[in-house]
Amino acid sequence: MKNKLSWFAVPYVGWMALMVVIPILIMVVYAFTTAEFQGTLENFAEMGAYTAVFLRSFRLAVIATLVCLLIGYPVSYWMAHEGPGFQRLAMALIMLPMWMNFLLRTYSWMSILENNGLLNQFFKAIGLLDALGVEYIPMIGTPGAVVLGMVYNYLPFMILPIYSVIVKLDGSLLEAARDLGADSRRVFRRVILPLSLPGVLSGVTMVFVPSVSTFAISRLLGGGTQMMLGDLIEQQFLGGAYDPHLGAAISMVMMVIVVLCMVVMNHFGEGEEQAVML
């Protein structure tokens, strides 16, 4: 019976090999070869010229992830402690923007943040621009606009995993902690926070990975002045500086860094879970 059931996994394994394994192997081949497909490490040496892009990408991704965590955890905690009706309504409001196309959501922020956009028009209407002595407040084309776009688009990916963990916590654990004399702060610090850590790590991963590799947000809201790794990779494959071998090398390095970050976070989460059990 077990052998018969294993055949059902064949389509999945074939799909994974076709769509995941083979592209990765092609990327590795391109990363370690020249245009004539001769072995080389020059592609990795050339990445030194783009150190600023690497640093900018990881800095903005970390900032966006921290902002999402600071906003997402309180929202998740609040939702989990409300009634079922409120939880369904809050979930619908969180998911509602995601029903709209990603690019359309980002374009909407362009019309809000641009120099003659809705936000600057509002500031002008209330007299803020006249008080500051400026025609507009520059917001588009700044790192802050890129971080804002990341937070807006990826915040649900932080809220949902944390909420799903907190809402399933065993209430008897919280009651036992209170019966033993722990106040609300200690219950949160010693029980709720450690037990919700798997959701936090999942949310951090789900926000950080797309943030560090985004290119649409940085291009539209960054105004072309805030190049990130996604823009750099796209430029090597589709732009004027066509060099797929360099693009593959950059992609490979970024993938390795992201995987290492995920391994470290998962290891940290396992250590916290073991501490709670002890």
Rounded Cα gap, residues 69 and 67, in angstroms: 5
The pLDDT of residue 219 is 86
The pLDDT of residue 48 is 83
Q: What percent of the chain has pLDDT over 90?
A: 20
| Residue 37: strand, helix, or coil | coil
Which range scores top for mean pLDDT: 93-107, 147-161, 212-226?
A: 147-161
The pTM of the full predicted model, rounded to 2 decimals, is: 0.84
The pLDDT of residue 276 is 47
Q: What is the mean pLDDT of residues 271-275?
A: 49
109 pLDDT more than 70:
yes
274 pLDDT more than 80:
no
264 pLDDT more than 90:
no
* 33-47 pLDDT tens trace: 988 888 888 989 888
pLDDT interval class at 178 (50, 70, 90): confident
The pLDDT of residue 270 is 57
pLDDT interval class at 163 (50, 70, 90): very high
Which is more confidently placed, 14 or 164? 164
The pLDDT of residue 169 is 83
Q: What is the mean pLDDT of residues 221-238?
A: 83
210 pLDDT more than 60:
yes
262 pLDDT more than 90:
no
Q: Using alpha carbons only, give the angle 235, 146, 263 rounded to the nearest 5 degrees.
A: 80
Helix/strand number for the chain, H first, E second: 17, 0
The pLDDT of residue 275 is 45
Longest CA–CA span in the chain (Å) reads 78
- Take residue 58 and report the two structure tokens written for it: 């990881």
Contact 217, 43 (CB under 8 A): no
Q: Which residues pair with 33 in a beta bridge?
A: 39
* 234-261 pLDDT tens trace: 888 886 778 889 989 998 988 888 888 7
Indicate left, alpha or beta for 173 from its phi (over 0: left) and psi (-120 to 50: alpha): alpha
Q: What is the mean pLDDT of residues 83-111?
A: 87
- State the average pLDDT for the chain: 85
The pLDDT of residue 19 is 84
155 pLDDT more than 90:
yes
* 68-84 pLDDT tens trace: 999 999 999 999 888 88
The pLDDT of residue 268 is 62
* 56-71 pLDDT tens trace: 999 999 999 999 999 9
The pLDDT of residue 278 is 46
